[in-house]
Amino acid sequence: MKKLCTLFILAFLLPLQAFAVEQWEEGKHYTVLDKPATEKPEIREYFSFWCPACFGVEPLIAQIKEKMPEDVSFNKVHVNFMRFTTPEIQDAATRAMVIARAVKQEDKLNAAIFNAIHRQRTSITGLDDLRSIFIANGVDAAEFDKLAASFGVNSMLKKNNMQINDYRNYINGVPNFIVNGKYQAQFTRNMTTDDIINLLVWLSQQP
């Protein structure tokens, strides 16, 4: 009887495992890029603060972070090639993002920048405008100025822009998700929010 129960359970589980593998199809739900895999699992979002769609998916980003495995990191890469504003102003926003990362308030301060642009319709003309947003959200002015000119922030800014250059041939628009350095997620119209999250999490577990 015990053996029959075991066989029954296996018969039930195997189709589910097959479904998990077959649900996501290369060429339809993701593309394998000609890039080396990252050393550790990583979901990377290429985005722009000026992009309405990027602003729209922010609640989804929070859900992805909640559901991804503990060994997976989530990293934002702010692009500087959108036509909403100049590359210099976009680089200033990238600098602000990495300052937010340095003070360990990235989610809160990113949300403040998004809200300033898309809800409050604030005109961002340079780093001073972003500085004002940060100060209004509790960041010390002197600390902002110190970090803005620091070696650490300059290094993180260069790393951000290197990640843009390395994948520029694959990134024609944002938001865009690259997983483990070699999988580019593709979302179809009939996919639900849960589908998108499950696809990204599944890709993060691929070698």
Domain count, the chain: 1
| Mean pLDDT, residues 96-104 | 98
Residue 137 sits at the vertex; the CA angle it makes with 163 and 92, to the nearest 5 degrees, is 35
> For the chain, give me the number of helices (H) and strands (E)?
9, 5
Does the pLDDT value for residue 110 go beyond 60?
yes
The reply to whether 3 falls in a domain is no
The reply to whether 19 falls in a domain is no
Cα–Cα nearest to 67, from 181, 173, 198:
198
Task: Tell me if 93 sits within 8 A of 100, measured CB to CB.
Answer: no
Around Cβ 117, how many Cβ atoms within 10 Å?
22
Task: Tell me if 144 sits within 8 A of 131, measured CB to CB.
Answer: yes
The reply to whether 8 falls in a domain is no
Does the pLDDT value for residue 95 go beyond 70?
yes
Range of the domain at 66: 24-204
What gap in Å lies between CA 21 and CA 24, rounded to an integer? 7
The reply to whether 16 falls in a domain is no
The reply to whether 14 falls in a domain is no
Q: Which residue has tokens 């803005």? A: 148
Q: How far apart are the first and last CA of the chain?
A: 39
Does the pLDDT value for residue 18 go beyond 90?
no
The reply to whether 4 falls in a domain is no
CATH of the domain at 92: 3.40.30.10
